[in-house]
Structure formats: C-alpha cells, structure tokens
C-alpha cells in the first residue's frame, strides 16, 4: 500500500451537516422570510449564504409533542421554523416539565437501607441491566420515545395537559429560536416542543449562524438585541465587580458592553491534535485577546469558556493562571491607572483556550461606575514599578499564582495544556501517597452495581495524576448532540449524568469527550449473556461514566474510600484548593 504523501487541503464544507439536504430544500429555505430579504452580495464568495444553508443546516421534521430542545441542554445549533409552530415552556419557577418526561434521570438518592443492601444486592454479572430502554409509556412518568438511532426523539403525550398546567408561548413560522445558547455555548433556557404534526425546522450549526449574523446587519441586530434583553444584564449583575450596581447603573454598563466569541467552538474535536504540538506552536494557535504591553482600555469578563493568562519569559510565555466564567482580566491595571500618575500597560496576555465568549467593558465605564464607588481598602493593590511579575486580578477572584513558585506554575501549565481546568470535580491522585490498593475503584464499583465508573490511570505531572474519571465539566461538550438528552446536567450546576434507559448507545458523548472519560459498554442479562438488538443481533451498548455517586447518600465513594488521602475531587475553577491540597 502506497503511503499518502499529498492530499487536497480539507475544506470547511467537505462534509455537509446533512447529506440529504437537496438543492430544492435550499431553494425552499432561501425563498422564505427572513432569508429572502438577506442581501446575499454581502457574503464573501467563499462563504455564500446558499453554501451556508446547504452545508451548515438541515431540515428536521417533527410530530406534535416531539421535544426539540430541553431546558438545561447544551447545543451548538439554532432553529428556524419553516413550517408549523413550536411551543415554549416559559422558564418560570414551578413551571418546568418533570425531568422524567424530558428523558432525564430522576435525581433520587438511595435510602440508608437501599445503600446498605447494595453490599449483597449488587449483581455478580458486569454491566447487568434488567431493562435497557424507555418503556412504551404505560406507566406514570415513563419516557416516551420514537424513531431510531440518532433520529430518536423523546415526545410528550399529553400536550393539552402540558398547555393547561404550564405557561407556554408559541413560536410561529419564520422565527428563530435557540440562537443565544448556540452562539454563547450556554444551556438552553427553555424546553421547546413541536406544537403540531408536520412541523419543519431548519437547524443551523453555530458556524453558519455566526456567519449569517456577521454578514447580515438585521440578523446581527436581532440576535444582539435578544442577547442584551435576555442575558447581558443578568450576567453583568452576577459579576463581582458590578454586584453593587443598581438596575439603572447596570443598564448604563450594559449599553456600553460589547460581546465577542473568540477561538474555536469545536475545540474538543481538535484539541488532541493540538496537544501534540510544541508549547510555542500551541500558544500561536490560541487566539490572542489582549497582549501584554497593550494599553488597558477595557475590562474583559469571561462569559463562557476559558482564557489563558500568561506573561512573557525569555522567548516564550509562562502561564500564570487561567480565567473562566464570571472572572475578569485587566481590572488591576485599570484601577492602577485611575489613581496613579504612572500608568501601566496590561501586565499579562490573555488568550482563548479553545473557545471563549467574552464581555468587553470600556475602562471609563469601570472608572465611573465601579472605581469611584469603591472604598480605598477594596481597591486592588497598585503595581510597584520595580515589580517583576505582578499578579492578576486576585481581588476579583481571578486565578493568580505567585510567579516565584515554579512548581505551582508547572501544575497550572499542566492543567491548562490538558484542559483539565474544565473540570468541576476533577479526580486528582497523589501518586506519592497512593498505595495502588484500588480501594477507590472497589468503592466506585460497589456504588454502581459492581461496575467501576472510572479508570485509575491518566496523564500525570510528577506525582500528580488526573485519572480518567468524568470531571463534570463547566463546558460539558459531551452533552452536545445527544439525540435523546440522556446525558444531561442535574438541576442547576449539578453533576453530568446519563439516563441509562434513554441512552441509545450512539457514542456521540463518548466521541465528544476530549478526556476519554465516557466508556461504551455492552450490557448483559442476569445470566451474563450480551443483550442483543432484536433486528440487527448486535449487542446493545450504553454510555457509562462517573456520576459522582449522585444516587448515594455518602457523596463520591472514591474520595471517601482512600485511606491515605491520595485522591480528591476538585473544582478547577479554584486552583488554590489544589495547591492547598498538594502542599498539605
């Protein structure tokens, strides 16, 4: 076999979103409002509107009651109603649909007795399942699903009941929905289902939506207006810097705030290739947001994703920290310049780690609404002119590490390079304390029907190892694309869990997880035989992973089981806890 040495460069649209999208479909979409009003000459030749619709979109057909998106889901696409209408369950307190009808797992802890009984009730057979699919909907709370494979949809049976008992609004033909969550990589804010049979939706991938927004001022204005109306004030108000502002002041700040998406949205797909590169090459690949030495005219607040904070050292950059959702960059510099006659420049560079969504607030706004109202004691320390390696916004809960501790820098570099900073419950093992007794693995197995849900192996730096256990990421890319919503986050910022009954074994989540922390397993009967699909005779597979012992009353069994304190689950948003743990 001859070795492949030359090939055409892969192109953006080599593989369309839906290969069944016909030219007639594209014509139909382009003839509908608002697409027919879009000035196609504004689009560059390489990215025509027709091309976007043909390659970045697909038409989905729904029957009445089919769930399109669920509140809390992550998605990377928006929807446009071509035909029919959809109904939104208004996200109000006590107005949510029950988790069970959304195809999610009910978050119910075991009782003390059920917990103890696991010791003798756990099956002997690995990956035993008494039931492998959602039932046909005979019982109360049963999940209803139709379709096959990736086209499986969960549906609501009692639509009149839902409409009667929940506040809902409709979205009619010609309207968009889901665009904010798609562009901002934020959870869907509401559950939406098809309201009538024959509803047709155009699903547009975020890349296509981004370009349409970029080259169509009316759509850009529409999306930006929606974002400002729905999310911006809430997000600014939740930021520590603006927490003391009243509504009117917050509105003033919001009016001057810009928002940008930087970097690659699909970072998880390319991250493994990028990790093979040298440190300098990796840094070059990361989109630079602000450069060390630039004039600090803006404060950056991270809305979603992560950014690397680095400082020049020799011919390279040293990572001194990272910031994530709600944290800021540049505050100390702005505060310094506000009260000092010797202005400083940005003391660090800020780069997008994969993908980052930022809010940019001009410095004069910060001065007017924040600094002038702050008591002198709350202000961040001024920079000393002889200071070699100033820290970053420590007072604003950003992550900063003292530069003189090389070992800390090493740890931070390791966590950033491998994107472990994404984890809210990252499993870290101190190999200098771990006796390899596997009590953690056994405890995990006993809490999950004798099936361990993590592997005590993983990348390590010196004596610190990050094991292959689900990290319950801040940015849970595994949740994107699950056709039935089986993988989901429990209420609020809860654990990422899988509903075994609605998992169809498509492996989308396992393939998306950049950390290889989701395993597909072939399920078995009580006698140990593989359970097979009636038609294809292939074994039925299910996605499995750590659920942080969501059903157990004692919390994560792995951490509780380690007699030597060698294993810990840590939220990487606060690396100081990791440092404290290491230095114990």
Partner 1 sequence: MSMTRKRRRMLGITTVFTFAVMLVLWQFDHVQRLEDTSLLTGYLLITMVTVLALFNLRKRFSFLPLGTAEGWLQVHIYLGCMAVFLFFMHIELHWPTGVIETLLAILFLCVAVSGVLGLILSRVIPSRLTARGGNVDFEQIPELRRKIKWKAEEIAAESIKLTGKSTIADFYVDRLQMFFIASNYFFSKHILGSKHHIEPLYTRIQATRRYLNDEENEIMNQLESLLSEKDMLDFQHSWQWVLKVWLFLHIPLSSALLVLGSFHGLLAFHFLGD
Give dist(CA 305, CA 327) in Å, integer.
11
Q: Are 473 and 325 in contact (CB under 8 A)?
A: no
Q: Do the Cβ atoms of 264 and 322 come closer than 8 Å?
A: no
- Helix (H) / strand (E) element for 413: namely helix 406-417
Does 402 participate in binding partner 1 (rule CB under 8 A)? Answer: no
83, 85, 222, 433: residue in contact with partner 1 (rule CB under 8 A): 433
Which of 92, 106, 116, 238 is in the footprint of partner 1 by CB under 8 A?
116
Nearer to partner 1, 409 or 559 (CB): 559
Q: Which of 523, 561, 569, 575 binds partner 1 (CB under 8 A)?
A: 561
The Cα–Cα gap between 429 and 415 comes to: 14
* Residue 107 binding partner 1, by CB under 8 A: no
CA neighbor of 344 nearest in space, from 384, 299, 400: 384
Q: Which of 38, 250, 447, 470 binds partner 1 (CB under 8 A)?
A: 447
Alpha carbon of 406 to those of 34, 57, 173, 292, 402: distances in Å?
Answer: 56, 48, 59, 21, 9
Q: In what order do the strands lie in the sheet with 567-570?
A: 455-461, 464-468, 426-430, 567-570
Instruction: Determine the Cα–Cα distance for residues 564 and 569; give it in Å rounded to an integer.
Output: 14
Q: Are 301 and 393 in contact (CB under 8 A)?
A: no
122-131: buried (b, 16+ CB within 10 Å) or exposed (e) per residue? eeebebbbee
Q: How far apart are CA 481 and CA 75, in angstroms?
A: 7
Which range of residues in 92-100, 169-177, 419-427, 439-447 is near partner 1 by CB under 8 A? 439-447
Closest to partner 1 by CB, 71 or 490: 490
Q: Is 108 in the site for partner 1 (CB under 8 A)?
A: no
Interface with partner 1 in residues 495-554 (CB under 8 A): 549, 552-554
Residue 11 or 120 having the CB closest to partner 1: 120
Length of the chain (residues) = 584
Q: Which of 219, 416, 425, 557 binds partner 1 (CB under 8 A)?
A: 557
Task: Tell me which of 52, 434, 518, 523 binds partner 1, using CB under 8 A.
Answer: 434
CA distance 208 to 77: 9
Q: Which stretch binds partner 1 (CB under 8 A): 87-95, 108-116, 343-351, 502-510?
A: 108-116
- The verdict on 117 binding partner 1 (CB under 8 A) reads no
Q: How many residues bind partner 1 (CB under 8 A)?
A: 45
Alpha carbon 118 to its chain's center:
33
The site map against partner 1 for 448-477 (x = CB under 8 A) is --------xxx-x-xx-x------------
Q: Which is nearer to partner 1, 358 or 447 (CB)?
A: 447
Distance in Å, CB of 469 to partner 1, minimum = 14
Q: Is 435 in the site for partner 1 (CB under 8 A)?
A: yes
Report DSSP state, residue 502.
T
Q: Which residues bind partner 1 (CB under 8 A)?
A: 112, 115-116, 118-119, 429, 431-437, 439, 442-443, 446-447, 456-458, 460, 462-463, 465, 549, 552-555, 557-566, 568, 577, 580-581, 584
């Amino acid at each position: 076999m001859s070795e492949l040495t030359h090939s055409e460069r892969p192109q953006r649209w080599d593989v369309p979103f839906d290969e069944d999208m016909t030219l007639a479909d594209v014509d139909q979409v382009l003839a509908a409002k608002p697409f027919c009003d879009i000035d196609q000459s504004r689009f560059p030749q390489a990215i025509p509107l027709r091309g976007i619709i043909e390659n970045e979109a697909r038409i989905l057909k729904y029957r009445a009651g089919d769930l399109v998106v669920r509140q809390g889901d992550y998605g990377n696409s928006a929807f446009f109603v071509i035909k029919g209408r959809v109904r939104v369950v208004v996200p109000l307190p006590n107005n949510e649909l029950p988790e069970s009808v959304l195809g999610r797992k009910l978050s119910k802890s075991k009782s003390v007795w059920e917990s103890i009984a696991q010791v003798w009730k756990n099956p002997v057979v690995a990956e035993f399942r008494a039931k492998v699919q959602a039932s046909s909907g005979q019982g109360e709370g049963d999940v209803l699903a139709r379709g096959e494979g990736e086209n499986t949809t969960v549906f609501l049976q009692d639509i009149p009941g839902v409409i009667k008992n929940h506040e809902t609004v409709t979205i009619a033909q010609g309207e968009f929905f889901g665009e904010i969550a798609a562009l901002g990589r934020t959870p869907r804010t509401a559950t939406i289902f098809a309201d009538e049979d024959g509803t047709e939706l155009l699903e547009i991938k975020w890349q296509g939506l981004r370009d349409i927004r970029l080259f169509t001022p009316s759509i850009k204005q529409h999306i930006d207006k929606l974002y400002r109306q729905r999310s911006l004030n809430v997000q600014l108000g939740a930021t520590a810097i603006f927490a003391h502002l009243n509504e009117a002041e917050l509105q003033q700040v919001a009016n001057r705030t810009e928002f940008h998406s930087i970097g690659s949205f699909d970072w998880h797909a390319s991250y493994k290739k990028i990790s093979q590169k040298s440190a300098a090459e990796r840094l070059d690949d990361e989109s630079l947001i602000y450069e060390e030495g630039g004039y600090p005219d803006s404060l950056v607040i991270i809305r979603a994703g992560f950014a690397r904070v680095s400082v020049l050292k020799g011919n390279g950059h040293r990572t001194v920290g990272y910031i994530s959702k709600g944290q800021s960059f540049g505050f100390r510099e702005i505060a310094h310049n506000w009260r000092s006659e010797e202005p400083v420049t940005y003391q660090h560079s800020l780069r997008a780690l994969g993908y980052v969504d930022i809010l940019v607030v001009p410095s004069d706004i910060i001065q007017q609404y924040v600094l002038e109202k702050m008591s002198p004691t709350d202000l961040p320390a001024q920079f000393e002119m002889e200071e070699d390696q100033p820290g970053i916004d420590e007072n604003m809960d950003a992550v900063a590490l003292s530069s003189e501790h090389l070992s800390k820098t090493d740890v931070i570099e390791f966590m950033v390079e491998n994107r472990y900073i994404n984890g809210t419950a990252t499993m870290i093992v101190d190999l200098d304390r771990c006796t390899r007794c596997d009590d953690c693995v056994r405890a995990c197995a006993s809490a999950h029907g004798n099936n361990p849900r993590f592997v005590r192996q993983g990348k390590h730096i010196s004596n610190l190892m990050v094991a292959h256990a689900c990290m319950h990421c801040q940015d849970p890319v595994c949740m994107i694309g699950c056709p039935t919503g089986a993988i989901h986050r429990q209420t609020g910022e809860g654990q990422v869990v899988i509903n075994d009954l609605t998992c169809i074994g498509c492996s989308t989540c396992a393939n998306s997880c950049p950390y290889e922390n989701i395993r597909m397993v072939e399920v078995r009967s009580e006698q140990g035989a593989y359970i097979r699909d009636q038609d294809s005779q292939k074994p039925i597979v299910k996605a499995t992973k750590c659920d942080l012992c969501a059903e157990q009353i004692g919390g994560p069994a792995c951490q509780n089981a380690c007699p030597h304190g060698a294993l810990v689950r840590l939220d990487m948003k606060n690396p100081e806890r990791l440092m404290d743990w290491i230095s114990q």
